[in-house]
Structure 1
Amino acid sequence: MAARLKVYAAQFGFHDSVVAARSQAAALAAWGTRQNLFAEGRAKVTDDPEAIAVALAHPEVPLRRAVGSKDPFSLEPGLPDVPEAPKRKAPDPKVVKAAPAPAPKAPPPDRSKLAAAEKALTAINIRRLDEEAALAERRAALEADEIASRQRWIKDRKAAEAELEKARRAYRAAGGEA
């Protein structure tokens, strides 16, 4: 027993297309696409009796006709009829339009407040750089003082330790216990 055929319709470019197939997948294969046009709403089962009759006469063969026409579906449809474009009226030579006057130029905006704000910001940045330089000098001087202080301490401590050791030896030599 032959499988029951359904007639599917879709639009491709300038043509409407129908195909009689046993499933949506078979219809997509007949149209030569792997894109699921049914999921996108671009293909559907048709209920047009004329399209159904022609498609069932040629199962699994896509038939086409120009979009919007009532021509019968066929293997090689013609192009759609395009209406002629409306003709334009030639301009009346007596009526001459004057060119619109250029709009008056607006004066440039006042930049004085912007310039003053930029100058103030530059002065603040320069002052900060000067402060950082002064702090760096003070930091370097403090580090130099710290190094000198440490060196004095080391020198004085060595001298005091040597004096302490000398005094201990003298005390022991004199008979004391330390």
Structure 2
Amino acid sequence: MAPKLKVFTWSDGFHAFTVAASSRPKALDAWGSKQDLFATGLASQLSDGPDYEAALASPGDVITRGLAIDVGKIGKARPKKAVGVSETKRAKIETLQAALAELDETHQSALADLDARQAALETERRRVETDHERSRTALAAELKKARA
């Protein structure tokens, strides 16, 4: 099940930046922020308004609205390029992120397979226990008869 999206916003005084994300860290990552804007009180969670609707329409994309520049204009923010990160390093980061996502998906699949196998083993164990009890009861009755 996909995590429920929340809408977060912060402002630099000139623009409001809004994003729909599943958590505060993911919102900070989308904004490219290295500091916790929520801890400083600059960022908060939104519950309605035009920025809220625009962010939910494009989850993960940063939506900007002009406050002092381009007042009222709402649109997608241009992706910020990390300062000092070469294209080679950026490509390596993207490759590693994709590999990490694939690893997590493989892990989840393996866990689901193990859960299914464990459920099958538990069913088999109950069957063996029932068969054993039934056979033991019958043999105990025959033994009692033979002793009498």
By relative contact order (CA 8 Å, sep 6+), the higher-ranking structure is 2
The TM-score normalised by the length of structure 2 is 0.47
The TM-score normalised by the length of structure 1 is 0.39
Which protein shows a greater Rg?
1
Q: Which one has a larger percent strand, Structure 1 or Structure 2? A: 2
